[in-house]
């Protein structure tokens, strides 16, 4: 809530804490007003409804924390593209039978639900303990740390421990320095 009191300044200060983003935006000027996105819920929908095929966030929306939305949308579109040959070859006239569209739901869920479930678990248990705070600080300073955070988020399990010895060493050093 306090972040929203001055979105532009707080966003600029937050982005400058990242070594990569801060350097990239050095000397940049804000082109417009900064808006808050509000609460973004993870949302699952049956992607086949009333003759429409829902792709991307319309059918499966994940918390943007891990930046997977565009990838998941492209993966959904790829699946639809692969199945469309069969749909259009069936010669069903002006519509595609609902049973054929169900194949899309099955394939989409098989390929994307692991990412969706990981995002749901991570966003529900977003409390940051001291180790997680050290890891996030490291991810703002080192590219390998940012990459490691993304990999970790994609395989998060309810009781997962961070899988990187590099992070453990970095966090231990930061803890001693604190």
| 25 Cβ contact partners less than 8 Å away, ≥ 6 residues apart | 15, 16
Number of domains in the chain: 2
The residue segments making up the domain with residue 9 are 1-36
Q: Are 19 and 65 in the same domain?
A: no
pLDDT on residue 157: 47
Q: What CATH number does residue 99 fall under?
A: 3.50.50.60
pLDDT in tens, 39-95: 677 888 889 876 688 888 888 888 776 677 788 889 999 999 999 888 888 766 677
Q: What is the pLDDT of residues 2-17, one digit of tens each?
A: 877 888 888 888 888 7
**Pair 72, 60: CB distance under 8 Å:** yes
> Is this structure's pTM higher than 0.75?
no
Same domain (yes/no): 20, 84: no
Instruction: Flag whether pLDDT at 155 surpasses 60.
Output: no
Confidence of residue 150 (pLDDT cuts 50, 70, 90): low
Q: 131: closest CA among 161, 93, 92, 94?
A: 161
């Amino acid at each position: 809530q306090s972040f929203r009191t001055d979105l532009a300044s707080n966003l600029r200060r937050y982005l400058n804490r990242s070594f990569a983003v801060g350097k990239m935006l050095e000397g940049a000027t804000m082109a417009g007003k900064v808006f808050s996105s509000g609460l973004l819920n993870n949302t699952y929908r049956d992607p086949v409804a009333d003759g429409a095929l829902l792709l991307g966030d319309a059918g499966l929306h994940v918390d943007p924390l891990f930046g997977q939305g565009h990838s998941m949308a492209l993966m959904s579109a790829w699946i639809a593209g692969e199945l469309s040959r069969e749909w259009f070859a069936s010669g069903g006239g002006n519509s595609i039978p609902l049973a054929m569209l169900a194949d899309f739901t099955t394939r989409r869920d098989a390929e994307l639900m692991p990412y969706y479930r990981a995002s749901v678990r991570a966003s529900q248990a977003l409390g940051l303990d001291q180790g997680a705070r050290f890891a996030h600080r490291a991810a703002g300073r080192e590219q390998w740390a940012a990459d490691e955070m993304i990999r970790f988020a994609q395989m998060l399990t309810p009781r997962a421990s961070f899988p990187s010895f590099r992070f453990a060493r970095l966090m231990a050093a930061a803890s001693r320095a604190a």
